Structure 1
Amino acid sequence: MIPDIPVDTRVELPPCGTWPASVHLFDEASADAILAALAAERPLLVRGEPGAGKSQLARAAARVLGRVFVSSVVHARSEAQDLQWEYDAVARLGEAQVLAAVHSDLDHRERLDPRRYLSPGPLWWVFNWTSAQDQLRDYCLCKASPPAGLAGWTPEQGAVLLIDEIDKAEADLPNSLLETLGNGAFPVPWLEAPVGLSPGVPAPLVVITTNEERELPAAFLRRCMVLRLDLPTKPSDLIDCLVKRGGEHFGTQCTKAVRTLVAEQLVEDRARALDLGRPAPGQAEYLDILRALVNARGSSEAKQKALFLRIARFALDKTGARSG
């Protein structure tokens, strides 16, 4: 059975690897989208502007589902293989040259076994955690740490994989992912069998984000559940939304009056930026400003308001209209 995702309930997110502590609120659409992706065993593509909470959605889903969280950020040179496994051919060549120079008369096949230079990628970890651990422990020369796990977690509880900013990559990457995710397995050179799900282990929830910088292949879109995270367009609704989320993040450290003041200015600067076709401030910038006010001036409302008037333009004004 797939557990329900709590809606409009504060979810505490403790630090995880390089991810800082945070909080998350699921809305009904996000909760239903995760349920659909889990039930259909399809990836969930999350669309929306930067800073809307797309990446954090995956981490929060892992938290409420009791699954381990694994993440990977895509860049312009990323390939599907990078998400499966990595092979350090340079290290193998270097060791071969050293061994040949020092012990030219010996057979070094065991030392140069290609499996010693093979590292599990994110998909390997979420498909078969035990196999990835064995590879890292028994063979791999690079003793890198596995993804941060959960206390008491076992592979039978499942995993959530975040593939962040897939629109940075060429079309070959999303297209190649279709076969891997559809089959639930992928081949690895030098292994006798493909890496796939172990018996009794649920299929991972794969959350893929895009900032819409590049159009994604139609075939890929058809095989995904798709969720769009948008901020409200009506100014009063956007202000209410930001004030509520700011309260969840900072509580009594930042009064409602301060949160409303910041939200009203953001709405004004956002409208100006959108009219000019410039990047518009959103939720991320709003929370950045509140964090700056709390860290620099404590919980004094008067001091926070005064500081906000001095620094607002640095985070909220993307047009330069108030930079003087």
Structure 2
Amino acid sequence: MKTLITPGKRITLDQFGSWPGTRHVFGEEVYAVEAALASRRPLLIRGEPGAGKSQLARAVAHELGRLFVPEVVHSRYEAHDLHWHFDAVGRLGVAQALAAGIGREDADTQLKESKFLRPGPLWWVYNWKSALYQNSHCKQGGTIPERPSKWQPGEGSVLLIDEIDKADADLPNGLLESLGNGAFTVPYIHKTIKQQQENPPLVVVTTNEERELPAAFLRRCMVLRLELPKDESGLVEYLIERGRLHFGDDCKENVLKEAAELLQEDRLAAQDFGITPPGQAEYLDMLRAVSGMADSERDQMEVLHKIKDYALKKSPYLESDAD
């Protein structure tokens, strides 16, 4: 079976905006990516924090040479924020400034709604040229997404809608039409924005499962679950492999193993308390600290045991248990 991305392939991701440089290895999840691309459906990625959900979207964009547009959802986020941003406050300020001593015709021009309308992430990935045009005609144009070198709109994009479970159900419900039909209407300019037919965007949605998503939204997605291995030995070996990938010889082999076993112990303790367990992110944080603070295996092991609780015991329940 031929795929766009080969399972097992390792790549280096350079720094991108606020995203640090890192390394990534593709696994069987490439088939979920392929299915989403072929079916033109969003890819919903479930999993605990630090499982690599967001990085997968970035890695796919890098490997396929696509534009990468990340958007992090927050509690006050609404569906239209992914489509467009209308600066009602800015328009009101202009209206107040124009209230005295100006001709009506000039006021109508300066208060035209399209002058206060900025494209949102879905607009950028659905129709780059239209978004670029609208952004240039807005009084306070937004930030243009960072493009790969020599990238052209026809080469496609990846939109990351990160942590959609932070918002309430109105957000995913408000995306049903635009994600299902590949189009949405902008009311202020009465224009329908349609995704390009050649290389349509891959929309990746992540959830930490803090809130259940609507069934109608799930039906429109391909769903991938990223999980750490359940059994103890499998988890330890998985983490050691990730440690080798990210730090190479900077972290000694026995240190990689010891850190993985420490994390496994704290995962079990966290599960007993019914709280979110530490995961891959905490493991890599420990190794990053250790490799930056010591060189020899002996020194690294000593540092590991001095700093491990700062990375692993973040819940007050685990702290009291440790005492």
Q: Give me the TM-score of the superposition, normalised by structure 2.
A: 0.94
Contact 2:290/2:303 (CA < 8 Å) preserved in 1?
yes
Deviation at 1:231, TM superposition (A): 0.3
Match of 2:12 in 1: 12
- Would you say 1:231 and 2:197 are equivalent positions? no
Q: Distance in 2 between matches of 1:285 and 1:51?
A: 8
Instruction: Name the amino acid aligned to 1:283.
Output: Q
Match of 1:240 in 2: 237
- Would you say 1:251 and 2:241 are equivalent positions? no
Match of 2:143 in 1: 145
Match of 1:315 in 2: 311
Provide the secondary structure at the position in 1 that maps to 2:134: helix
Unpaired segments ≥5 residues, structure 1:
none
Q: 1:306 aligns with which of 294, 299, 302?
A: 302
Q: Distance in 2 between matches of 1:101 and 1:15?
A: 50
% of aligned pairs identical?
A: 52
Count of residue pairs brought into register by the alignment:
319
Q: Distance in 1 between matches of 2:222 and 2:284?
A: 29
Match of 1:197 in 2: 195
Deviation at 1:103, TM superposition (A): 3.5
Q: Distance in 2 between matches of 1:63 and 1:146?
A: 18
Match of 2:168 in 1: 170
Runs of 4+ in 1 over 4 A off after TM superposition: 321-324
Question: C-alpha deviations, 1:260-314, integer Å up to 9, x for none?
Answer: 11001111111111112122111000001111112222x3222211111111011
Q: Distance in 2 between matches of 1:321 and 1:301?
A: 30
Match of 2:154 in 1: 156
Match of 2:183 in 1: 185
Instruction: Name the amino acid aligned to 1:237.
Output: G
Deviation at 1:102, TM superposition (A): 5.6
Q: Distance in 2 between matches of 1:218 and 1:69?
A: 27
Q: Distance in 1 between matches of 2:119 and 2:141?
A: 11
Match of 1:121 in 2: 120
Contact 1:163/1:209 (CA < 8 Å) preserved in 2?
yes
Q: Distance in 1 between matches of 2:146 and 2:289?
A: 29
Q: Distance in 1 between matches of 2:99 and 2:255?
A: 69
Instruction: Name the amino acid aligned to 1:24.
Output: H
Q: Distance in 2 between matches of 1:310 and 1:183?
A: 54
* Structure 2 CA distance for partners of 1:3 and 1:157, relative to 1, 3 Å: farther
Deviation at 1:251, TM superposition (A): 0.8
Q: Distance in 2 between matches of 1:203 and 1:268?
A: 44
Q: Distance in 2 between matches of 1:197 and 1:165?
A: 23
Q: 1:275 aligns with which of 265, 272, 280?
A: 272
Match of 1:108 in 2: 107
Deviation at 1:106, TM superposition (A): 6.6
Question: C-alpha deviations, 1:114-141, integer Å up to 9, x for none?
Answer: 111101100000000111111112x112
Q: Give me the TM-score of the superposition, normalised by structure 1.
A: 0.94
- Would you say 1:27 and 2:24 are equivalent positions? no
Question: C-alpha deviations, 1:3-47, integer Å up to 9, x for none?
Answer: 52121221111111211111111111x110000000000011100
Q: Distance in 2 between matches of 1:126 and 1:182?
A: 15
Contact 1:55/1:164 (CA < 8 Å) preserved in 2?
yes
Q: Distance in 2 between matches of 1:140 and 1:190?
A: 12
Say what the alpha-carbon RMSD is for the aligned residues.
1.6
Provide the secondary structure at the position in 2 that maps to 1:320: helix
Matching of residues 59-70 of structure 1 within 5 Å = 59-70=58-69
Deviation at 1:220, TM superposition (A): 1.1
Q: Distance in 2 between matches of 1:102 and 1:151?
A: 49
